[in-house]
Amino acid sequence: MSDDVRGVPAAAIRSLVADCFSAAGMVADDAACVAELMVEADLTGADGHGVMRLAHYMRRFKAGGFNRAPNISVTQTAPATALVDGDNGIGHLVVSRATRTAMTLARAAGVAWVGVRRSNHAGAAGIYAAMPAAEGMIGIYAAVASANHMAASGSAEPLLGTNPLAIGVPTNDGAMVFDMATTIVSYGTIKKYAMQGRAMPPGWLVSATTGEPITDPKQSAEGLLLPVGGYKGSGLALMLGVLAGVLNGAAFGRAVIDFNAEDKRGTNTGQFILALDVARFMPMEGFRAAMDVHLGDLRAASRLPGVDAIRLPGDRRRYCRAERLRDGVPLPPALVAQLDDVAQGLGVKTLAQRLA
Amino acid sequence: MSDDVRGVPAAAIRSLVADCFSAAGMVADDAACVAELMVEADLTGADGHGVMRLAHYMRRFKAGGFNRAPNISVTQTAPATALVDGDNGIGHLVVSRATRTAMTLARAAGVAWVGVRRSNHAGAAGIYAAMPAAEGMIGIYAAVASANHMAASGSAEPLLGTNPLAIGVPTNDGAMVFDMATTIVSYGTIKKYAMQGRAMPPGWLVSATTGEPITDPKQSAEGLLLPVGGYKGSGLALMLGVLAGVLNGAAFGRAVIDFNAEDKRGTNTGQFILALDVARFMPMEGFRAAMDVHLGDLRAASRLPGVDAIRLPGDRRRYCRAERLRDGVPLPPALVAQLDDVAQGLGVKTLAQRLA
């Protein structure tokens, strides 16, 4: 951790976030739920989906873009399926409700698929896939991203998002969570490079007019994020968008509203969550033991020159969580100042006051 | 189609394949089922999974590696889940049985997940994802590949396969099928380059000792296939392997038997298929209409310089199927000669005799 970055205890951030949402008009339980999930993103290293988003969320609350007191409705449509209407609530509330529904249905039916419509940005994909994994289930989650920055293969027009896929599996070492965007990097990464004045490697972004690489992050407005693995990544983004968006009557393609550019209109964001009960396939003990063997084999395998350790999906997440629970979440000074502004604007205690 | 490649009617190939499996000791219905699915791979352009495999499959039957008359058992483990034991039958029989089971369960429960163990190579992933899509459902299929040619990120040891993922969605234009391997190219593609004496582009294969690119396909034995999108692709392969393999008590990692190198032992191949009933989320008509709008938008979007048309997942497959139904399946002379040998060895009519 560099000198100018403070490790802030998760509990302090959590109480700040919850107080801000309460002050913005959300009931206390909902505010606590959103705070918990946002800080979980920070703890697990998904910084771009954590407290960094608070100012933006508050701006959107103020502008009327979020429903402060959404009447989230869950309609069970079959023994193992449900459709959740988020009533334009913030995504964390809506998707966590959908995930709990999927887990309840899957406990009875073995598997469940819950679709979500009229939701919003829900933060880090991995946190929802991890929830079933914490209770002996496999979780699979995908979302339509809250802005379109990718084009279909060959196209110059961004009609697809970074649509993420997350898969969580229970192991003896906690939830093993795989969480991938379908673009090589996120738009947030490019913004970070722009702020730092750094050139980007070719391969992240191409010009929508020439198809040539853009390495100057200042030109990103005219660029298209490149998919993972070329046409495979853009095809996967499309299919996930169909499953999370079109199937639920949620926004996709031209109907997607750029959540960063516009604060007022509901985004009708779509997501889905699947929960699958491991015990319907093999005894939980046997599954965990088999995972131990296989993950051990993969870690112990010979390495390429210059590689110090083999990292498997979720390793960084697990390591980061342990470290940040111990040392606090590193918040850059600019972010702390921004959070102070938000807190003062809403009349709640700042981080410094909470830590005094 | 080049001059030396004949377009052979699908019906002739199908009857050849069915007769060969019957002659090898399979009951007629099963032989017809496998022939249908193998030729479907040829029709849809998945040549590497079609009749090209016949000689290998027959060799494996002869060596006792397949059970000619498997007692495939389906155990429903919950309202929406089942586990299929393939009894070491050829994968096509086992997975098509699993897929029908998933569709039946999903019709009642909204969604179903069927795991498969003690199966074998089942051919093209897309054909199983397409089956639910032909009946108003979404299909999702994945498999543990029948050999390990990929390493976990940073590793020099191939403990992962090209584990494919396929997703099928019903549209007004037939099933839209996305079918991706988690490596950049298949091992079959590299074998084709070796046969043709062509150099490969860097980025497909790296040396397991140095990590440097291999471009000479003759050195492929010491190489590792590279995943799609670096650590994302190897992570996805791992997670799909857990879902299709470990969860079902099927082979994964060190337990995977190279199906190409060994003809006698059962491979205990694992697969899973999910079926999801669209009508539980929106009326089928509405879904198809929405897909028409979105796919139309994507196709009509502006294009990058030099791009003549925007191709979406499944386009090549659909185009190829129409063309090959009309003009026949192009079989290279070497393959026709190999099929003649197989037919003569089993005492069944050759392709030429069927076409006379």
pLDDT tens digits, B313-351: 999 999 999 999 999 999 999 999 999 999 999 999 999
B2 pLDDT above the threshold of 70: no
Among residues 8-47 of chain A, which lie with CB inside 8 Å of chain B?
Answer: none
- Rounded Cα distance, A170 and B237, in Å: 17
What count of Cα atoms within 13 Å lies in the side-chain half-sphere of residue A96? 20
Provide ipTM, 2 decimals. 0.97
pLDDT number for residue A1: 45
pLDDT digits (tens, 9 = 90+) for B117-174: 999 999 999 999 999 999 999 999 999 999 999 999 999 999 999 999 999 999 999 9
Which one of B74, B84, B111 makes the best mutation probe of the A interface by having the most chain A beta carbons within 10 Å? B111
Residues of chain B contacting A78 with CB distance shorter than 8 Å: 108-111, 277, 280
The tokens 């046969």 sit on which residue? B195
Dihedral sign for Cα atoms in the order A317, A323, A327, A330: negative
Q: Do A235 and B154 touch (CB under 8 A)?
A: no
Q: Which domains does chain A show, CATH number per domain?
A: 1-63+328-356 (1.10.1530.10), 70-181+228-281 (3.30.1370.60), 184-226 (3.30.60.50)
pLDDT number for residue B4: 62
A4 pLDDT above the threshold of 70: no
- Rounded Cα distance, B127 and B38, in Å: 9
pLDDT number for residue A186: 83
pLDDT number for residue A193: 86
pLDDT digits (tens, 9 = 90+) for B261-305: 989 999 999 999 999 999 999 999 999 999 999 999 999 999 999
Q: State mean pLDDT over A28-38.
A: 98
Order of strands across the sheet with B223-225? B158-160, B150-151, B223-225, B205-207
Q: Do A138 and B247 touch (CB under 8 A)?
A: yes
B167 touches chain A (CB under 8 A): yes
Distance from CA of B232 to the nearest CA of A (A): 7
Share of chain A above pLDDT 90, in %: 90
pLDDT digits (tens, 9 = 90+) for A238-248: 999 999 999 99
B180 touches chain A (CB under 8 A): yes
The pTM for the full model equals 0.97
pLDDT number for residue B105: 98
pLDDT bracket for residue B1 (50, 70, 90): very low
B179 pLDDT above the threshold of 90: yes
Q: DSSP letters of B125-136? A: HHHHHHHHHTTT
Distance from CA of B166 to the nearest CA of A (A): 10
